[in-house]
Amino acid sequence: MTNNKKTKVVMQNTISLDGSFINFETSQEVMGLHYQIVGSFGKVLYLFGSNTAKVAIEMFGGLTPETKDDFMRPQKSEDLSYWVVVDSEAVLKGKLHFYRRSEYCRDIIVLVSESTDKSYLDYLKEREYDFLVAGKKQVDLKKSFDVLSDRYKTSTVLVDSGRGLTNAMLNQGLVNEISLLVLPVIVGGKSENLFSNIAKQVKLTELKERTFPGGYIHLHYKIDK
């Protein structure tokens, strides 16, 4: 997708000064800035991994039981972004209504593989979730993005996920731009480096840099191909 189609893939993360993507305080101010930057990319396919999705459910209030309405495809504004989750392991079985209900999410699309448990596919079909099967064990990300960009006529995929999904995408050459909000904090011993699973050096060209009050810095790079 990144080479022969017009869809751009942007990775957006918030990190500490020492590069950690977790184990810092996520205050309202930090969340506000993170989502302000996400919003600055406009209408996108908003992508994340299953572990990020699972953690976020707890972070943003926890799960409540499904109701009848959760079984139907919602009718929402066309201006909203579709959200896409990678989930070959069916981690989100029984949980997807949390996302379908979000006022910011047009609906959630699920990427699965040929190894995904059939009961998860039944769960998705019964609730009219759009899903795509690509890849044998894990999801074939490139193939999925090609299909999604055609199906949803999108110009930008924005991945807002942890190290697992972002590093897999970087290693497969599927990311065009990296957007980082750098916090004025050092995590130190509990730091988990966002880029520690990257297989080989990635060269970057700066597109934009902006400082926010409070010592926050937004860095935006293009990946040199």
Q: Does 87 bind ligand NAP (CB under 6 A)?
A: yes
Of the residues 2, 49, 106, 132, which one makes contact with ligand NAP according to CB under 6 A: 49
Residues 185-224 that bind ligand NAP (CB under 6 A): none
Residues 4-33 that bind ligand NAP (CB under 6 A): 13-14, 21-22
Q: How far, in Å, are 49, 197, 198 from residue 201 at the CA level?
A: 23, 11, 8
Q: Does 98 bind ligand NAP (CB under 6 A)?
A: no
* Cβ nearer to ligand NAP, comparing 13 with 81: 13
Among 172, 142, 170, 109, CA closest to 4: 142
* Phi and psi torsions of 38, nearest 5°: -55, -45
The gap from C-alpha 86 to its chain's centroid, in whole angstroms, comes to 9
Of the residues 2, 50, 81, 191, which one makes contact with ligand NAP according to CB under 6 A: 50
* Cβ nearer to ligand NAP, comparing 69 with 137: 137
Of the residues 45, 148, 165, 175, which one makes contact with ligand NAP according to CB under 6 A: 165
Least Cβ distance, residue 72 to ligand NAP (angstroms):
25
Q: How many whole angstroms separate alpha carbon 128 and alpha carbon 73? A: 6
Q: How many whole angstroms separate alpha carbon 62 and alpha carbon 52? A: 14
**Residue 51: enclosing H or E segment and its boundaries?**
helix 50-59
Q: How many whole angstroms separate alpha carbon 153 and alpha carbon 20? A: 34
Of the residues 96, 98, 158, 160, which one makes contact with ligand NAP according to CB under 6 A: 160
E-state strands within 87-148: 105-112, 130-133
Q: Does 162 bind ligand NAP (CB under 6 A)?
A: yes
Task: Enumerate binding residues for ligand NAP (CB under 6 A).
Answer: 13-14, 21-22, 49-52, 55, 86-89, 138-139, 141, 160-165, 168
